[in-house]
Amino acid sequence: MIFQELTSPDIKAIDRENTICIIPIAAVEQHGPHMPTGTDTILCTAVAEALEAKLPEQTLLTPTSWLGASAHHLRIGATLNADLDHYVSMLLDIGKSLLNDGFRRIFYLNGHGGNIDPMKIAVRELQLNHVDSMLVAGSYWAVADDFIVSTLEGDHKYVGHACEFETSMIMHVRPELVRTEHIQPAGQLIDDVVNGVYVSRDMTQRTNDGFTGRPDLATAEKGEQFFNAVVDKLVETVSSLLTHPLGTTHQDFI
Ligand SMILES: [Zn+2]
């Protein structure tokens, strides 16, 4: 079910306990010289729409929230940013709108690295007043991490930024948006973790030109494999989440 295509009586009639609201959260920010700024919004939306198409009765898909927490890209420019406190507030507002309308299962489906910390804060905050609801937050690529790591050919074995993974995905979903003539390896990525402790560094400090990894190894074929693996795993994940009880104590989950 697609939220913005339904009427208020349609939405009123939805089974609150056995439907999961999918809230795609993404970003519009610089993606180096070869990828469009809307990469995260394009990919997260495409993945969320494919998920809804496979589970139309069990999911209620909201519009994609395109404004992300992207302050770490601002010095490069070409970036639209929500400050962290605004971003958490916005996620809370979307969640409260659904929870106060009676929905009991909500899933922030993320497509942008900078949203990961704030989305966790948002669900922890919502949980205080909605202990009888299921509050989920996760990045779409996380569900297929094993497949992604084993399929990536470059030595950057993780999802980065305008990297082998994201470039392959866009080559599959919107190939005409990739500036292939500007694709090159990113060079060294400066760590943001030193001996297990986090060091806050922005993209100007961490990267040579605003992107990471080996986009030169990206192909549309790999993109199709990544896309299908992600959607299949999301279908599995959402189906599993729907079997979890809406409990308020440990006893309810045994
Ligand atoms: Zn991003």
d(CA 214, CA 188): 10
Burial (CB count within 10 angstroms: exposed 0-12, middle 13-18, buried 19+), residue 184: middle
Q: Which amino acid is residue 215, in one-letter code?
A: P
- Domain definitions of the chain by residue range: 3-153+222-253
Q: What is the DSSP string of 136-149?
A: EEEEGGGGGHHHHH
Cα(141) to centroid(ligand 1), Å: 12
Cα(70) to centroid(ligand 1), Å: 7
Locate 160 and state its tokens: 């980065």
CATH class of 3-153+222-253: alpha beta
- Per-residue confidence (pLDDT) for residue 29, from 0 to 100: 98
Cα(114) to centroid(ligand 1), Å: 7
Burial (CB count within 10 angstroms: exposed 0-12, middle 13-18, buried 19+), residue 11: middle
- Per-residue confidence (pLDDT) for residue 104, from 0 to 100: 98
Cα(27) to centroid(ligand 1), Å: 6
Locate 11 and state its tokens: 């939405």
d(CA 192, CA 205): 10
Q: What is the mean pLDDT of each run of 10 residues along the chain (254 residues)?
A: 98 98 99 98 99 98 98 98 98 98 98 98 98 98 98 96 98 98 98 98 98 98 98 98 97 96
